[in-house]
Amino acid sequence: MAPEWLAAHRTDVVVADVRWYLDGRSGSDAYRAGHIPGAVWIDLDTVLADPPSAAQGRHPLPAPDRFAAGLAVAGIGDDQPVVAYDDVAGMAAGRLVWLLRALGQPAALLDGGLAAWPGPLARGAEQLPPARRTPRPWPNEALATASDTADVAGGRSGVVLDARAPERYRGEVEPIDRRAGHIPGARNAPFSANLDPATGRFRSPAELRARFEELGVGEGREVVVYCGSGVSACHNLLALAHAGFDPGAVRLYPGSWSQWSADPGREVATGDGDR
């Protein structure tokens, strides 16, 4: 969603600030220090995820009741259009957008994030009236298990994409999870490469399509996307849709590397290449 459009239609949508930082900084504090006027803050850790565990990963999908309750309190009801943003290239906000789209609700990522907002910022906290929201189950067809992911990575009918930075994919560094490396057979598709480095906005659909086709994505091929904990992978899911690929052929592995690496029975690959 273009910032210019949002500036003209801000009252027609719910604006959600989903700032969150891997280094532990407070997204709430960042929101209170300056946000798009009218925006509500959504806590990734408590609304967009269940509690972490070795068995499920650092950011398991939220239970439908948890997700519905958290959004209802924030004033986001059933079927309301939502525009979400953050200040880390859409890495966190993409999770909310993809979850809403998975449920059939209209949602978009603010292209360019907070830095692209043309108007002044508001300070403090804002609250919309509580909304009515019905818990809805996550569609199984949109999700992949660890075993599903291993099957796709090891076969020839699909591709598994790792949205993390190249150095984490290669296993050179691992700042937070149990083991370093990547799922054997996965290909590295850093979510940051979805953006034009000069503008911070999404590349054109044609550029994105060429990028993903080079990685092995194609019509009729299964695609499973993962990252560290199922958050930044959603950015790739949105980019694939923007590029025109069928969303029904693309799945998220929610447990991602945090779940895979915690399971001693799962093999780990390191270095460049897809094996």
pLDDT tens per residue, range 207-218: 999 999 999 999
Tell me, rounded to whole angstroms, the distance of Cα 114 from its chain centroid.
17
Residues of the chain with CATH 3.40.250.10: 3-116, 140-260
Residue 257 confidence (pLDDT) above 50: yes
pLDDT at residue 208, as a whole number: 98
Annotated catalytic residues are 227
List pLDDT tens digits, range 176-222.
999 999 999 999 999 999 999 999 999 999 999 999 999 999 988 99
What is the H or E stretch that residue 167 is in? helix 166-169
- Using the predicted structure, report yes or no on whether residue 4 has a pLDDT greater than 80: yes
* Four-point Cα dihedral 92, 97, 100, 106, nearest 10: 160
Cα diameter, the chain = 53
CATH node for 140-260 = 3.40.250.10
Predicted pLDDT at 220: 85
Q: How many Å apart are CA 154 and CA 274, to the nearest integer? A: 10
Model confidence pLDDT, tens digit, residues 121-136: 999 999 999 999 999 9
Q: Which pLDDT belongs to residue 274?
A: 57
Q: Supply the pLDDT for residue 29.
A: 98
Q: How many residues are there in the chain?
A: 275
Cα gap 94→18, rounded to integer Å: 9
Mean pLDDT estimate for the chain? 96
Average pLDDT over residues 18-41: 96
- Average the pLDDT over 14-36 and give the result: 97
Q: Tell me: pLDDT of 175 over 70.
A: yes
How does residue 275 score in pLDDT terms, banded at 50, 70 and 90? very low
CA distance 109 to 235: 9
Cα–Cα distance for residue pair 118/123, rounded to 1 Å: 16
80-111: per-residue pLDDT in tens? 999 999 999 999 999 999 999 999 999 999 99
The average pLDDT across 251-266 equals 97
Assessment of whether the complete model's pTM goes beyond 0.75: yes
How far apart CA 33 and CA 17 sit, in angstroms, is: 12
Give the contacts of 146 (CB within 8 A, at least 6 positions apart): 253, 255, 259, 260, 263, 266
CA distances from 30 to 41, 43, 61, 137, 218 (A): 10, 12, 24, 31, 39
Q: To which CATH superfamily is domain 3-116 assigned?
A: Rhodanese-like domain (3.40.250.10)
54, pLDDT greater than 50: yes
